[in-house]
Chain A
Amino acid sequence: MSALAEIQPYIEAFKARAQAGEPDWLWHRREGAMQRFAELGFPTRKQEAWRFTDLRPLQRVAFPPAIAVAQATTDDIALWRFKGETYRIVLVDGAFVPALSAIDDLPTGAWLASTAQTLREWPELLDPAVRETDTVGAQPFAALNAALFTDGFVLALQPGVALDRTIEVIHLGRAANRSSQLRNVILLGPNSRATVIESYAGTGAYWTNAVGVIGVGAGAALRHVKLQDEDTAAIHLGQHRVDLGCNARYESFTLSLGGRLARNETHLKLDGEGAACGLFGATLLRGEQEGTIATVVDHAAPGCTTREYFKSVADDRAHGVFLGTIGVRPQAQKTDANQLSKNLLLSRRAAVDTKPELEILADDVKCSHGATVGDLDETALFYLESRGITVAEARRILIEAFAAEVIERLEDDADLRAHLGRHVARWLAAGDSR
């Protein structure tokens, strides 16, 4: 498709959209965002941020927003449920499914609802979360999302509120050649805390385009897990835009398993003195999968800390990409940042591109980065085999250990580690049964 032809279906979809009771300010922003997307078009490989990404699966066919709401049952979401009692939001094809969700008995000072409901009942809350010009990181898909988003989830905590249960959000994609445009918002007031697990899964060749806007106030703490487990025929583009206040804590883990084409982005700004973030993740790829982790960390205040550690495993003809930038502004003295990317290639036809970058404009900082690409350790393989463990099992054990090493970074949450470990094991088992 030509550049114009490939964006046309989205322009048409926007034209067909009604304001449907949304406030005027939002409608204007949607219009502005659509215009912005039309100007920018799809990214090309000439842009540095997209140099390693083959977007053709997204360009060959159009994915207008899903309309019909597919039916889903508790069985359909069982695989991604987090154990124990949770607050839960379930969405299918970009629309909230109340019957599968559980958002009753929230404590005072906590708001958890679908984005659509929030727009009806408390639209001002979304004001800071929808920006028509928000295309930082060469991301026209954020603009497209702002124009077309249908639903998502919103979590807002008043100062000092600490949730006693984990919040789980499960999105299922079902409609072939349709997109789910999700706008998610997490706003933590000062000294509040929460744990959120987002899981993305589904069946078929759909496109999920999810934008999460996250603000963590002074002294607040958010632990944020994302499980990207889309169908291997599907496309997943997801981005988190995070802003941290003074002494705020943000820790994320991205486990990326699915998708024909998947891209998980984090754009994070350390905006208050003493803020700290830990960005961790593992991407497991096989077949023809293409998976990208892109992080842009902006140290805009002094005395902030970044710990970044991402791993990838690529088998068959898969392609993994890590793009990591840490920028330190002149005023961000006493920055302590490190970034590490470790990658495992399991096949001669698999490939990994890793690009860690530091841009340091302050002089009193401690920053480091590193990247490795290798294959399974032959001596470790032989050690396992010499004890009677089959080659296939030995490989499975070593890959699992490789992923486990970064999951261990979630030090004080054994349930979360076990949850992620189970999904890694499931991915490995799916490979054995091929």
Chain B
Amino acid sequence: MLEINNLHARINDGREILKGVDLAVKAGEVHAIMGPNGSGKSTLAGVLSGKPGYEVTEGQVLYCGRDLLAMAADERARDGVFLAFQYPVEIPGVNNMYFLRAALNAARKQRGESAMDAGQFLKAVRAKLKLLEIGEDLLQRGVNVGFSGGEKKRNEIFQMAMLEPRLAILDETDSGLDIDALQTVARGINALRGPERAIVMITHYQRLLDHVVPDRVHVLSGGRIVKSGGKELALELEQTGYGAYGDAA
């Protein structure tokens, strides 16, 4: 589903952050990308989702056989790529419910389906809210406005559950969560695992992986994948730290 070949990218100030990333993720798989601070994790998430501020200088990314980097951010999203933000953005004045419906209908339109009516929409919303233990009142507020850190992260996974992407990239979704919130978020992610869907979890720590057990674990360091393995690699990192991969963090 996702094939990254020799990806090089730099940020606006000219610094090269990704220096030849190779990665292949098949449908149905859950991959974890771990790495120390500054290894390029967030840059990788940004480049895959089409966030402005990055320039790809070499390499390619194929998504379901298509050139992902040639697609605009909104086009990628409508085609099934989802990014759970490390820092979800607050948008005052834009009602959460309205926003979600606009997003959902944009994807449906792309697929040639009719827009969801209010009744259908509400029914779908209620089921997913329950899964993520989000109060219905949060939906009447501005997008992420006045949400706690945990609520913001749960809202990301809630959006993912609503939008049902083919490829989900979760950027540090576990950061800033207490253990209860972590479990809720993990339950939400696990509920979305399926043979048609690929999930890439980007994380600094191993603890999310106790709850969402990955099929593959990769270590990103210095802008490259330096080691890949099964779920046991995460445990090993927890023991040894990233020191062996060029960072003491």
Contact = CB atoms under 8 A, between A and B. Distances in A.
Given A387-B99, A390-B74, A394-B74, 13 more contacts: A379-B89, A384-B103, A385-B50, A386-B49, A386-B77, A387-B102, A387-B159, A388-B107, A389-B102, A391-B74, A393-B102, A397-B99, A404-B93
A390 B143 CA distance: 17
A398 interface: yes
B83 interface: yes
A414 to B, nearest CB: 14
B88 interface: yes
Contacts of A387: 77, 99, 102-103, 106, 159, 163
A402 interface: yes
Given A388-B163, A404-B93, A397 B83 contact: no
A390 B106 contact: yes
Contacts of A380: 89, 91
Interface in A369-425: 377-380, 382-391, 393-394, 397-398, 400-402, 404-405, 408
Interface in B41-84: 49-52, 72-74, 77-78, 82-83
Interface residues of B, number: 28
A397 B102 CA distance: 10
27 contacts: A377-B91, A380-B89, A382-B51, A383-B85, A383-B88, A383-B89, A383-B143, A384-B99, A385-B50, A385-B77, A386-B51, A386-B83, A386-B85, A387-B77, A387-B99, A387-B103, A387-B106, A387-B159, A388-B78, A388-B163, A389-B77, A389-B106, A393-B106, A397-B94, A401-B92, A402-B93, A408-B93
Contacts of B52: 378, 382
Interface of A: 377-380, 382-391, 393-394, 397-398, 400-402, 404-405, 408
The 5 A-B residue pairs with the shortest CB-CB distance, nearest first, are: A401-B93, A388-B77, A387-B103, A383-B89, A388-B78
B140 interface: no
B110 interface: yes
Contacts, number: 75
Contacts of B85: 383, 386
A29 B49 CA distance: 69
A388 B159 contact: no
Contacts of A385: 50, 72-74, 77
Interface string B90-109: 01111000010011001100
Contacts of B49: 386
Nearest to B162: A387
Contact of B103 (A388, A398, A402, A405): A388
Contacts of B74: 385-386, 388-391, 394
Contacts of B78: 388
A382 B143 CA distance: 13
A379 B92 CA distance: 13
A416 to B, nearest CB: 17
B76 to A, nearest CB: 8
